Amino acid sequence: MGANHTQTKFILLGITDSPRLQTPLFVLFLLIYIVTILGNVGIIILVRVFSSLHTPMYFFLTHFAFTDICCSTVICPRMLADLLSEDKTISFTGCMMQLLTFAFFATIECHLLAVMAYDRHFAICQPLLYVTIISSRVCWQLVASSYLFAFLTAIISTWCVFGGSFCSPNRIDHFFCELFPVIKLVCSDTHSSEMVIFAFITVNAVCANVVILLSYISIIRTVLRMCSAQSRARAFHTCASHLMAVSMYFGTGFFMYLQPPSSHTSLDKVASIFYAVLIPMLNPFIYSLRNREVKRSLVKCGRRFFSRWQHRRLLSSRT
């Protein structure tokens, strides 16, 4: 991959070139990264520990949390190091692997959001058949297909970018090896590569959004037919967190990837910070604070921890 390149390294220009802002930004993004890891790991642990959360919805949520951790880890440690270092160079291979891994996990998230909408469709529209339709085997098949499509998309997109010739300059106007800032540095004609990348992004985004749209049209129809206002409120509340995650993720994603390459501006960095750094931090709060079952599990976990701490304190006082 990328055998025709002449560059051996790139220089990431980062978020800002102002020395005064670099330390405050380092502290801010370090806190965001820590909260991201703790929040998503907490979701995974809760689902593993509490049997009440052993359902398809939370199975998909654990994979979603895992991809959030991976997306954030691909970007944040390198970004944090660059904020404190004068040497912002990244090797050709390192840049290629960062783009590949980020594209892989970001595409998985795209498909998982569609899978979660598909799951909610059967849970609300066909509750009596839900366990039969969304079986453990089907859950693994849906997740595996998400990983497979993401792998193919990431490999082909990375090949389209790094398969050309890189000449000078080698300065990437971004804080990580994002797709469009890197492809601007390719010397050879990139029109066909850009068309292939655009096609893959469009197919992934359109397919995912069609599944989400059709699922929620069916959900809304079913909910409106419910006689009980309480049942309608419960159904809408169940879907609210997922809709928030979908709107945030695809909103920034469409802004970044579904515009012509010539239209990209400095606002791309803001969009990238939002979907690569902030959204992975916000997702655990969206799914936990708006979900009764997760909140109950958090309360139970807190009570268990407190009771164990109190028990150990009592034993130590006796001894």
Q: Which domains does the chain have, with CATH numbers?
A: 9-311 (1.20.1070.10)
- Does the pLDDT value for residue 299 go beyond 70? no
Average pLDDT, the chain: 84
- In terms of residues, how long is the chain? 319
Check residues 142 and 312 and name the one with the higher pLDDT: 142
Percent of the chain exceeding pLDDT 90 equals 35
Q: Read off the pLDDT of each residue in 59-88 and give the average, rounded to a whole number.
A: 92
Instruction: Identify the pLDDT of residue 3.
Output: 45
- Compute the half-sphere exposure of residue 315: CA atoms within 13 Å on the CB side of its CA: 6
Report the amino acid identity of residue 143: V
Question: Which two three-digit tokens encode residue 112?
Answer: 């998982």
Contacts of 16 (CB under 8 A, 6+ apart): 22, 25
Instruction: Say what angle helices 279-289 and 292-318 make with each other, to 10 degrees.
Output: 90
Q: How many other C-beta atoms can be found within 10 angstroms of the C-beta atom of residue 302?
A: 10
| Residue 1's pLDDT band (cuts 50, 70, 90) | very low
One-letter amino acid of 65: A
How much of the chain exceeds pLDDT 70, in percent? 84
pLDDT at 146 over 90: yes
Answer with the residue of higher pLDDT: 17 or 235: 17
Place of tokens 């989400």: 212
The secondary element (H helix, E strand) that includes residue 15 is none
Average pLDDT over residues 37-62: 88
pLDDT digits over 197-227, tens only? 888 888 888 899 899 999 988 888 888 887 7
Is the pLDDT confidence value at 271 over 60? yes
Residue with tokens 């990238």: 272
pLDDT at 156: 93
Mean pLDDT of 103-107: 94
